Amino acid sequence: MPGTVLGVIGGSGTYRFPELEDVTERVVETPYGAPSSPLLSGRIGEQEVHFLTRHGTGHRLNPSEVPYRANIWALKAAGVTRLVAVSAVGSLVEEVVPGHLIVPAQIIDRTKGIRASTFFEGGVVAHVAFGDPYCPDLRARVVTAATVAGATVHSGGTLVCMEGPAFSTRAESNLYRAWGGTLVGMTAVPEAKLAREAGICYATLALATDYDCWHESEDAVTVEAVLEVMKRNAIAARAAVVTLCLDLEAARPDCDCQAAPQAALITPSDQISIEARERLGPILGLTME
């Protein structure tokens, strides 16, 4: 689709994107501080792409330290309309084998409230619809792209987002399974909420690295084992994004994501302060007038 701009957030194990061409690197300033990393901007084919790494250069930010608002604000200000979030996760079901990719459809939030999770505060109130936290159109395209790229990919399921940085207890892992969880990760919230507030189509490309600790026939999850699987998964994830770019060149979105922030706004425009207009300019398309 003309005007489609793809954003990619690289998760654990996905710290660079060598497939990008004509790359420029830019340090972005936002009202919420600095993003996790400089923004790498370039092209894959004819598709404009902006990339940042969620945990920072050298993987120095734990899941609760990630500046989620700064990351989403920077991508929105760069013109991103669709965002693929690459994330390493644990599998809670037998059929999602470590090394497989999965594009979830739902989220259960188990974070503890210490992460800033909204742009709408400080004199501006909005309540976005979040019943379906992922863009259905982008989800379907990511599934197709990962399949065409040769990965074993699963579509659907529920991602349980826990606080971290410690892995689950065995009791927690079995609780998440009893709830119908498919995956457990540490970064989908508030990232998905903020993307919806910013009017960005959002999908998670999850990379299963382990069976968490519920699987009695498997060893408990260790960093060493996770890192080994992550290396293989990162290659598959980048191949999926490259394939997705070829699809997006002619794609037209079939969703309401981009209209979400304006539809959710409760505070009348004439009651929004100049400071808030400046802070939320890229998010709501507000002017200083």
Strand 106-110 to 158-162 pairing: parallel
Determine whether 212 is an active site residue.
yes
Q: Which of 212, 247, 254, 256 is catalytic?
A: 212
The pTM of the full predicted model, rounded to 2 decimals, is 0.93
Residue with tokens 């770019």: 245
For residue range 83-109, what is the model confidence (pLDDT) as tens digits?
999 999 999 999 999 999 999 999 999
Q: Which of 210, 254, 256, 270 is catalytic?
A: 210
Within 13 Å, how many C-alpha atoms sit on residue 108's CB side? 16
User: How far apart, in Å, do the first and last CA atoms of the chain sit?
Assistant: 31
For residue range 186-243, what is the model confidence (pLDDT) as tens digits?
999 999 999 999 999 999 999 998 898 888 766 665 667 667 777 778 888 999 999 9
Mind listing the domains of the chain with CATH numbers?
6-285 (3.40.50.1580)
Residue with tokens 């989908």: 188
Determine whether 210 is an active site residue.
yes
Q: DSSP secondary-structure letter at 2? A: T
